[in-house]
Chains A and B, each alone.
Chain A
Amino acid sequence: DVKVTQSSRYLVKRTGEKVFLECVQDMDHENMFWYRQDPGLGLRLIYFSYDVKMKEKGDIPEGYSVSREKKERFSLILESASTNQTSMYLCASSPPTFRGSEKLFFGSGTQLSVL
């Protein structure tokens, strides 16, 4: 089975800290995604990457950056954490969506609290 592993289940950080959220997948997927999930707002795309060193902004990229130096790892970086970035962060991966049979797989999520 595909595994998408997020390095931390819970994180508590202080305002202004630099925060790294790590995501690793073991199925050689080209696509990787970072979402945040907030009550009443659903899942919103922050960034996605379709190949090593390639990245595209999603719907809410402000305050975030990403890094994809290796195919299996996609990192989300909060340069200076703020309280409004308190959220559940979900990483996902999939093969390129061109045949229609490719599944999307999610990690178990990181609940980040910024105090």
Chain B
Amino acid sequence: KQEVTQIPAALSVPEGENLVLNCSFTDSAIYNLQWFRQDPGKGLTSLLLIQSSQREQTSGRLNASLDKSSGRSTLYIAASQPGDSATYLCILAGGTSYGKLTFGQGTILTVHP
């Protein structure tokens, strides 16, 4: 059974810092991994998708990497801003069940001015 762990559970940083969020998984048989952000009381917004065959994806100040052999993905946020404050979730697609998705518990990020 796929298990996904996100570390740290919460992170508070001053504005301008570069930071890394981690997502670890136990089963490397995945189709893809997606990073989402969720603002309080809202739905989930897709940030980046990394396919199983890819190593990284970039979008603006965000860079996500995938290392299947070690069961890890990282989300790197450069020059953090208060607007980056949100919960960040990694979601893995894969496994033997149709439509099987496994969620991390999320990292709560606070960027203070």
A11-19, A69-77, A79-87, A106-114 - the one binding chain B: A106-114
**Chain B residues with CB under 8 A of A31:** 99
Cα distance A101–B57 in the bound complex, in angstroms: 12
**Chain A residues with CB under 8 A of B49:** 101, 103
* Chain A residues at the B interface, C-beta cutoff of 8 Å: 6, 31, 33, 42-43, 45, 48, 50, 56, 88, 90, 92, 94, 96-109, 111
Helix, strand, loop or mixed for chain B's interface?
strand
**Chain B residues with CB under 8 A of A98:** 31
Number of interface residues of B (CB under 8 A): 26
**Chain A residues with CB under 8 A of B43:** 6, 90, 106-109
| Contact partner, A104, options B91, B98, B105, Cβ 8 Å | B91
Determine if A97 and B106 form an interchain contact, defined as CB atoms under 8 angstroms apart.
no
Determine if B101 and A45 form an interchain contact, defined as CB atoms under 8 angstroms apart.
yes
B36 in the interface, Cβ–Cβ < 8 Å? yes
In the complex, the chain B residue whose C-beta lies closest to that of A30 is B99
Rounded to whole Å, the gap between the CB of A58 and the closest CB of chain B is 10
